[in-house]
A and B are shown apart, each in its own frame.
Chain A
Amino acid sequence: MEEKILNVLKEVLEIDSATSELSSSNCEMWDSMAQLNIAAELESAFDVSLEPEEIAGMASFKEIVNILKAKGI
């Protein structure tokens, strides 16, 4: 799962490499619109539907992992 998330982050944020430390506070490309796009990509990658609160909470790799785990992925 984590590898898949990192690939989504790399693709959406258009960055060469993504690590588990990646977040909106250390990546300039990770703005509100990017976060929406990340959520949309994650929804299709994991075939899951995300609630608005979950989308708003996805401000770092770690938060994404926690949210997806809580959804049973």
Chain B
Amino acid sequence: MEFVCKKTTELSKEDLHKIGSLFSEVFNQVRTEEVLLNQYLNNAFGTSYHVLMYDDGQLIGHNAGVPGYLMINGKKVSALNNVDLMIKEEKRGLQGFMMLVKKAWAFYKEQGIQLIYSLPNNNSHPLLVKLKFVNDIGKLYTYCLPYRIGGVKKGLAFANFLSKRLCKLWVFCSSILASEEVTTFRIQRDYESFERSRYKRSDGQYSFGELKGAKFVYKIMIHEGVRTAFIIDVYDKSKMAFCRAVNYLLKNESNNFDLILYVGYLPFVNIGLFRVPHKYEPKQFNFVGHVLNSEGLDDKDKNDYMDINRWDINLADDDII
């Protein structure tokens, strides 16, 4: 097996085409070369880092890291989101997996990256953890509001009127009880560099909303057959801001979705959405991390980095849906 490390800016058109083909083969999803480039170039560094794995000249594996900056207890630190780790099914094995990830970690270190985090799927998660490439930080939650229940479960279309009424009542009651207090996080994105490029990623189809001072980003799409409004990020994280985001969607977009989803981790409840218990989640969101280079970080920073309660984490960090 042969491994080639490249920045996105060094990938040829043929490389991108092969990565796209491998992606659709492994994940059964189409990603055009344009979408891939959007994904990999729109970050604070203007590039991502790739390891391409070849066998007999054929691309059989790939791993990418999307770099950026995190603020950890007020310090700006280079951090990278490890994404698109994939190996052709017939070529999978622990040895190859290990070599691919090892190469990636070494490449990231060479590029001056200090921290790695990732939201790996259930296939690669146990391998990454057991082979000690990462440690578990925690699991993200799925928060939901089934607005038009018939759109989520076809047989329940007769109950649409009721579910819509109940949702509005629920959000109204949540808004009465919700506090305006904004939660601060010890670990969050460096918003200044992040915002400049993040929402050009993927297909770039993100919407921005504001209601009574609460600002948020959302995306409406068909997800697994359901018209879904994803709340990607809410800027000031208070219970009230979430209620306002949900309220905004109900008032302005309710004809376009049947379900509202937010995926992330919040240290509070009562946000106008229901938190789905992990055992009932259709998809689990594993969250892992690794300190590559601890220069400038003290023990508190490193401990905080591995503690999900310190993180402001949600779909803004990764298009994992």
List residues of A whose CB falls within 8 A of some B CB: 24, 31-33, 35-36, 39-40, 52-53, 55-59
Residues of chain B with a CB closer than 8 A to A31's CB: 92
A59 touches B93 (CB 8 A): yes
B126: interface (CB < 8 Å): yes
A sample of 12 inter-chain contacts (CB < 8 A) reads A24-B93, A32-B97, A32-B127, A36-B126, A36-B127, A39-B130, A52-B133, A56-B94, A56-B97, A56-B131, A58-B94, A59-B95
Instruction: Give the shortest distance, in Å, between B218 (CB) and chain A (any CB).
Output: 36
B132 touches A32 (CB 8 A): no
Q: Complex formed: what's the CA distance from A11 to B133 in Å?
A: 27
Q: Complex formed: what's the CA distance from A40 to B130 in Å?
A: 9
**Of A33, A55, A59, which one neighbours B131 at CB under 8 angstroms?**
A55
Given contacts A32-B92, A59-B93, contact A53 B98 (CB under 8 A): yes
Q: Complex formed: what's the CA distance from A39 to B129 in Å?
A: 14
Instruction: Give the shortest distance, in Å, between B128 (CB) and chain A (any CB).
Output: 10
Residue of B97, B98, B132 with highest tally of chain A CB at under 10 A: B98
Count of residues in B whose CB is under 8 Å from the partner chain: 12
Residues of chain A with a CB closer than 8 A to B133's CB: 52
Q: Complex formed: what's the CA distance from A24 to B95 in Å?
A: 11
Q: Complex formed: what's the CA distance from A55 to B133 in Å?
A: 13
Summarize A's interface: helix, strand, loop or mixed: helix
Minimal Cβ-Cβ distance residue in B for A25: B93
Residues of chain A with a CB closer than 8 A to B132's CB: 52
Instruction: Give the shortest distance, in Å, between B293 (CB) and chain A (any CB).
Output: 19
Given contacts A36-B130, A55-B94, 18 further A-B pairs with CB under 8 A are: A24-B93, A31-B92, A32-B92, A32-B94, A32-B97, A32-B127, A36-B94, A36-B127, A39-B130, A40-B130, A52-B132, A55-B130, A56-B97, A56-B98, A56-B131, A58-B94, A59-B93, A59-B95
Minimal Cβ-Cβ distance residue in A for B129: A36
Q: Complex formed: what's the CA distance from A48 to B215 in Å?
A: 53
Q: Complex formed: what's the CA distance from A35 to B127 in Å?
A: 10
Residue of B92, B130, B131 with highest tally of chain A CB at under 10 A: B130
**Of B95, B98, B126, which one neighbours A33 at CB under 8 angstroms?**
B126
Minimal Cβ-Cβ distance residue in A for B132: A52
Instruction: Give the shortest distance, in Å, between A1 (CB) and chain B (any CB).
Output: 22
Minimal Cβ-Cβ distance residue in A for B92: A32
Residues of chain A with a CB closer than 8 A to B131's CB: 52, 55-56
Residues of chain B with a CB closer than 8 A to A58's CB: 94
Q: CB within 8 Å of A: which of B55-96?
A: 92-95
A52 touches B92 (CB 8 A): no
Q: CB within 8 Å of A: which of B86-118?
A: 92-95, 97-98
Q: Complex formed: what's the CA distance from A31 to B92 in Å?
A: 8
B95 touches A57 (CB 8 A): yes
Q: Complex formed: what's the CA distance from A39 to B127 in Å?
A: 12
A52 touches B93 (CB 8 A): no
Q: Complex formed: what's the CA distance from A57 to B127 in Å?
A: 14
Instruction: Give the shortest distance, in Å, between B63 (CB) and chain A (any CB).
Output: 15
Instruction: Give the shortest distance, in Å, between B124 (CB) and chain A (any CB).
Output: 9
Residues of chain B with a CB closer than 8 A to A55's CB: 94, 130-131
Q: Complex formed: what's the CA distance from A68 to B130 in Å?
A: 18
* Closest 7 pairs (CB-CB, A-B): A52-B131, A56-B94, A56-B98, A36-B130, A52-B132, A56-B95, A32-B94
Minimal Cβ-Cβ distance residue in B for A52: B131
Q: Complex formed: what's the CA distance from A58 to B130 in Å?
A: 14
Minimal Cβ-Cβ distance residue in B for A39: B130
